Amino acid sequence: MTDKYPLPSYAVSAWVAGDSLFIAFPGTVSEQGHTIKLPASAGGLLAAVTIMKARSQATDLRLNARGTPTRNEMDEALSSQDKYKAWLKAMGAAKEQSAQERAEAEEFLKELGL
């Protein structure tokens, strides 16, 4: 863990506005930055932490790489329970989830009506 500046290259910006949690990914040398929107809930926070863990281990931080999901990818993943679970598994979170994290993910899916 580092608490020194400058921030690591994989750092993101995050904020809450209303019922949404926004995660902004900085641009790279070849790509413009972008922002994704998640629900401002325990499940949304779990998804954000999952993304940030993946980014900290990623070797490629370009758009659509592991740890840098696109808006469309997240919208699609959040549109169905099966897709969301598949996304979590692909990000490597399913194996690391504790019982509490699984409960929070289930609550997130309930909030989405799934």
CA distance to 2, 39, 70, per residue, from 61 (Å):
19, 23, 12
Question: What's the whole-model pTM score?
Answer: 0.64
- The predicted-structure confidence for 78-106, as pLDDT tens digits, reads as follows 776 666 666 666 666 545 556 666 677 77
- The predicted-structure confidence for 21-80, as pLDDT tens digits, reads as follows 999 998 888 888 899 998 888 888 888 888 888 888 888 888 877 788 888 887 777 776
Q: Which 3 state secondary structure label does DSSP give 88? A: helix
